[in-house]
Amino acid sequence: MIILGINAYHADSSAAIFVNGQLVAAIEEERFKRVKHWAGFPLLAIEFCLQEAGITIEQVDHIAIGRDPKAKFLKKILFLLKHPFGSIDVVKDRLNNSRKVASLAEEFNKFTGTGKPLLKNKIHQVEHHRSHLASAFFASPFNEAALLSIDGSGDFSTTMIGIGKNNNIKILDSIDFPHSMGIFYTAFTQLLGFPHYGDEYKVMGIAPYGNPKYVDKLTHVVHLTRDGLFKLNLKYFKNATKGVISYGEDNIPMVAPMFTDYMIDHFGEPRKKEEPLTQYHKDLAASVQSMTEKVIFHILENLQKRTGLTNICIAGGVAQNSVANGKVISNTLFRNIYIPSAGHDAGISMGAALYVQHQLLNLQRQPSIKSAYTGSYFTNEQIIKTLTKKNISFSKYEDNELFEKITDCLVNGGVVGWFTGKAEFGPRALGGRSIIADPRRTDAKEILNLKIKRRESFRPFAPSILKEYVADYFEITDEVPFMEKVFPIKKEKQANIPAVTHVDGTGRLQTVDKEVSPRYYGLIEAFRKRTGIPILLNTSFNENEPIVNSPEEALDCYLRTNMDMLVMENIVVKR
Ligand SMILES: [Fe+2]
Q: Which three-class secondary structure string do you get for 29-65?
A: CHHHHCCCCCCCCCHHHHHHHHHHHCCCHHHCCEEEE
Mean pLDDT, residues 117-140:
89
Q: What angle do CA 315, 317, 321 make, to 5 degrees?
A: 85
CA of 17 relative to ligand 1 center, distance in Å: 19
Give whole-number Cα distances, 118 to 44, 106, 110, 122, in Å: 21, 10, 11, 8
CA of 142 relative to ligand 1 center, distance in Å: 22
CA of 152 relative to ligand 1 center, distance in Å: 7
CA of 288 relative to ligand 1 center, distance in Å: 20
Strand ranges for 377-530 from DSSP E: 395-396, 416-419, 433-437, 462-466, 485-488, 506-512
Q: What percent of the chain has pLDDT over 90?
A: 81
What phi and psi, each to the nearest 5 degrees, are found at residue 265?
Answer: -55, -35
CA of 55 relative to ligand 1 center, distance in Å: 29
CA of 11 relative to ligand 1 center, distance in Å: 9
Of the candidates 451, 453, 173, 208, the one whose C-alpha atom is nearest the C-alpha of residue 322 is 208
CA of 529 relative to ligand 1 center, distance in Å: 42
CA of 40 relative to ligand 1 center, distance in Å: 16
pLDDT averaged over every residue in the chain: 92
- pLDDT classification of 118: cutoffs 50, 70, 90: low
**Does the pLDDT of residue 396 top 50, yes or no?**
yes
Strand ranges for 229-365 from DSSP E: 230-232, 245-247, 253-255, 311-315, 336-338
One-letter identity of residue 2: I
- pLDDT classification of 88: cutoffs 50, 70, 90: very low
DSSP 263-292: HHHHH-SPPPTTSPPPHHHHHHHHHHHHHH
Q: Where are the alpha helices (DSSP H) in 468-560?
A: 470-473, 491-494, 518-531, 551-560
Mean pLDDT, residues 242-248:
70
CA of 498 relative to ligand 1 center, distance in Å: 34
Give whole-number Cα distances, 406 to 80, 177, 523, in Å: 59, 50, 8
The residues that bridge with 171 in the sheet, in sequence order, are 162
What pLDDT score does 98 carry? 63
Least confident of 317-321, 377-381, 494-498, 534-538: 317-321
CA of 149 relative to ligand 1 center, distance in Å: 8
- pLDDT classification of 461: cutoffs 50, 70, 90: very high
Of the candidates 563, 562, 572, the one whose C-alpha atom is nearest the C-alpha of residue 420 is 572
Q: Alpha-carbon dihedral of residues 503, 506, 508, 513, nearest 10 degrees?
A: 140
CA of 154 relative to ligand 1 center, distance in Å: 6
What pLDDT score does 131 carry? 98
- The alpha carbon dihedral of 140, 144, 146, 151 has a sign of positive
CA of 235 relative to ligand 1 center, distance in Å: 24
Of the candidates 89, 164, 173, 98, the one whose C-alpha atom is nearest the C-alpha of residue 133 is 164
Mean pLDDT, residues 304-320:
96
**Does the pLDDT of residue 42 top 50, yes or no?**
yes
Q: What percent of the chain has pLDDT over 70?
A: 92
pLDDT tens column, 464-482: 999 999 999 999 999 999 9
With b meaning 16 or more CB within 10 Å and e meaning fewer, what string describes 304-316? beebebbbbbbbb
Do residues 546 and 423 touch, judged by C-beta distance below 8 A?
Answer: no
Mean pLDDT, residues 142-170:
96
Q: What angle do CA 378, 530, 434 make, to 5 degrees?
A: 30
CA of 153 relative to ligand 1 center, distance in Å: 6
CA of 550 relative to ligand 1 center, distance in Å: 28
Residues with CB under 5 A from ligand 1 (ion): 151, 154, 345
Sequence-separated (6 or more) residues with CB below 8 Å from residue 365: 138, 143, 166, 167, 358
Query: What is the rounded CA–CA span in Å between residue 390 and residue 196?
Result: 35
Query: What is the rounded CA–CA span in Å between residue 517 and residue 515?
Result: 6
CA of 253 relative to ligand 1 center, distance in Å: 13
Return the half-sphere exposure (C-beta side, CA atoms, 13 A cut-off) of residue 544.
Answer: 8
CA of 206 relative to ligand 1 center, distance in Å: 24
CA of 327 relative to ligand 1 center, distance in Å: 22
CA of 477 relative to ligand 1 center, distance in Å: 29
The residues that bridge with 474 in the sheet, in sequence order, are 489
- pLDDT classification of 422: cutoffs 50, 70, 90: very high
CA of 513 relative to ligand 1 center, distance in Å: 29
pLDDT tens column, 253-273: 888 899 999 999 999 999 998
- pLDDT classification of 524: cutoffs 50, 70, 90: very high
pLDDT tens column, 336-394: 999 999 999 999 999 999 999 999 999 999 999 999 999 999 999 999 999 999 999 99
Query: What is the rounded CA–CA span in Å between residue 79 and residue 77?
Result: 5
Mean pLDDT, residues 118-139:
90
For 134, counting Cβ atoms within 10 Å of its Cβ (0-12 exposed, 13-18 middle, 19+ buried), the class is buried
The residues that bridge with 396 in the sheet, in sequence order, are 571
- Percentages helix, strand, coil for the chain (3-state, rounded to 5) are 40, 20, 40
CA of 519 relative to ligand 1 center, distance in Å: 33
CA of 158 relative to ligand 1 center, distance in Å: 8
Query: What is the rounded CA–CA span in Å between residue 444 and residue 439?
Result: 7
**Does the pLDDT of residue 502 top 70, yes or no?**
yes
**Does the pLDDT of residue 81 top 80, yes or no?**
no
**Does the pLDDT of residue 221 top 80, yes or no?**
yes
What pLDDT score does 255 carry? 85
Query: What is the rounded CA–CA span in Å between residue 504 and residue 208?
Result: 6
CA of 265 relative to ligand 1 center, distance in Å: 31
Of the candidates 40, 57, 44, the one whose C-alpha atom is nearest the C-alpha of residue 4 is 57
> In angstroms, how far is CA 38 from the centroid of its own chain?
14
- pLDDT classification of 111: cutoffs 50, 70, 90: low
CA of 59 relative to ligand 1 center, distance in Å: 29
Query: What is the rounded CA–CA span in Å between residue 494 and residue 507?
Result: 10
With b meaning 16 or more CB within 10 Å and e meaning fewer, what string describes 496-511? bbebbbbeeebbbbbb
What pLDDT score does 63 carry? 95
pTM: 0.94
Number of residues in the chain: 575
CA of 178 relative to ligand 1 center, distance in Å: 14
**Sheet hosting strand 144-154, strand order edge to edge:** 168-176, 157-165, 144-154, 311-315, 336-338
85 versus 382: the higher-pLDDT residue is 382
Mean pLDDT, residues 497-511:
97
The three-class DSSP label of residue 343 is coil
CA of 53 relative to ligand 1 center, distance in Å: 27
CA of 496 relative to ligand 1 center, distance in Å: 38
Mean pLDDT, residues 508-513:
98
CA of 527 relative to ligand 1 center, distance in Å: 38
Least confident of 215-219, 239-243, 496-500: 239-243
CA of 315 relative to ligand 1 center, distance in Å: 8
Do residues 368 and 140 touch, judged by C-beta distance below 8 A?
Answer: yes
- The alpha carbon dihedral of 272, 273, 276, 281 has a sign of positive
Mean pLDDT, residues 190-219:
96
308 versus 446: the higher-pLDDT residue is 308
